[in-house]
Amino acid sequence: MTATTGLFDLTGRSALVTGAAGGIGAAVAHALALAGAAVLVTDIDGPAAAAVAEKISATGAKADSFALDVRDRAAADIAAEKAAALTGGTLNILVNNAGVTAPAMFDKLQEESFRLMVDIHLMGAFHCTQAALPFFPTDGTGRIINVTSSAGIVGTLGQVNYSAAKAGIIGLTKSLARELARRQVKVNALAPLAATPMTETIRTNEKFAATMLARIPLGRWAEPEEIAGSFVFLASDAASFITGQVLPVDGGMVM
């Protein structure tokens, strides 16, 4: 192992990834495991989360799964404890990735839809982070990585609910980074853009797809696996002096 490779070595560390039954979450779970972490794959779809964990385990890495609705604080407590148990009681990495979309123009946006975005994205991150905190070490290996979006940075048409929740994630990230610095826990956010089930509606609509691609300097959508390495970076010793930041991984759309 070279010194550079060692910077990204997560051997002996545990990770909890929410919304990891597919898309970016599943890719992140695989990437963290490949880097050596023991991973708890969680999702509201328990069987799908279990399938991802089985694929990771088949590679020789350590993984388990848990059916988690991030709106349920009691379930988040159980998930954090299970993730910590993978490595003897310490949880090093939390990835708050769970999310959904419910697009609608503002004049037609229902209160239930707005609350759903806040409950899953923002309150979900709140629940999981509070549940995880008692298990975080103070040795500098603690990482919280929240998933936001360009929608939370610059806004987007037809997604006021989603944009507001993702902007809230940024505020949560920055404030937590200040609070948890004394415990040497680093808190950052990623704003990814990838070809996933959540973006399928845009990618398969000829008009929307052309408009979106015109906004991406690299001119294409990323595959989830291309995004996952950024999470490994923020989870690793290579990012030991980075906290309170938002990293867009979007082909240059936000710069």
How would you classify residue 111: left for phi > 0, otherwise alpha for psi between -120 and 50, otherwise beta?
Answer: alpha
What is the C-alpha to C-alpha distance for residues 210 and 42, in angstroms, rounded to an integer? 34
What is the C-alpha to C-alpha distance for residues 245 and 224, in angstroms, rounded to an integer? 21
Name the residue among 151, 144, 160 with its Cα closest to residue 244.
144
Task: Give the 3-state secondary structure of 131-173.
Answer: HHHHHCCCCCCCEEEEECCHHHHHCCCCEHHHHHHHHHHHHHH
Burial bucket for residue 162 (CB in 10 Å: 0-12, 13-18, 19+):
buried
- Decide: helix, strand or coil at residue 59: coil
Residue 249 bears catalytic tag: no
Point out the catalytic residue in the list 66, 114, 162, 231: 162
Residues known to be catalytic? 162
